[in-house]
Amino acid sequence: DSGVTQTPKHLITATGQRVTLRCSPRSGDLSVYWYQQSLDQGLQFLIQYYNGEERAKGNILERFSAQQFPDLHSELNLSSLELGDSALYFCASGRQAESFYGYTFGSGTRLTVV
């Protein structure tokens, strides 16, 4: 157990729908990172939050959004889902905004869009 909790573990939904993925960081970590891993794209950075504020943005689609709440958990919202959004979504957490160390990943949410 890495200490980073992601729910749900699996999600199956239809095209056009909206889903929310949840991430609870390790205790004491203030940064949350979201990554998408599809078969043909590898691990792609989506977005980072630090202590409630957006810190960095990667290849995140406009249909996707995220936020980090006062209790530091984060949610990734995916809307108008397409078949190509099927992927593993990983959350990672880090101690600070600019951490010398790497960060710790959760076990992921597998999203299947049918």
Partner 1 sequence: DAKTTQPPSMDCAEGRAANLPCNHSTISGNEYVYWYRQIHSQGPQYIIHGLKNNETNEMASLIITEDRKSSTLILPHATLRDTAVYYCIVRAAGNKLTFGGGTRVLVKP
Q: Which residues bind partner 1 (CB under 8 A)?
A: 2, 4, 33, 35, 42-43, 45, 48, 56, 58, 88, 90, 92, 97-108, 110
In the complex with partner 1, which residue's Cβ is closer, 75 or 105? 105
In the complex with partner 1, which residue's Cβ is closer, 2 or 51? 2
Shortest distance in whole angstroms from residue 16 CB to partner 1: 26
Shortest distance in whole angstroms from residue 113 CB to partner 1: 17
Shortest distance in whole angstroms from residue 31 CB to partner 1: 10
In the complex with partner 1, which residue's Cβ is closer, 70 or 100? 100
Lookup: tokens for 83: 């078949």
Per-residue three-class SS string for the chain: CCCCEEECCEEEECCCCCEEEEEECCCCCCEEEEEEEECCCEEEEEEEEECCEEEEECCCCCCEEEEECCCCCEEEEECCCCHHHCEEEEEEEECCCCCCCCCEECCCEEEEEC
In the complex with partner 1, which residue's Cβ is closer, 70 or 102? 102
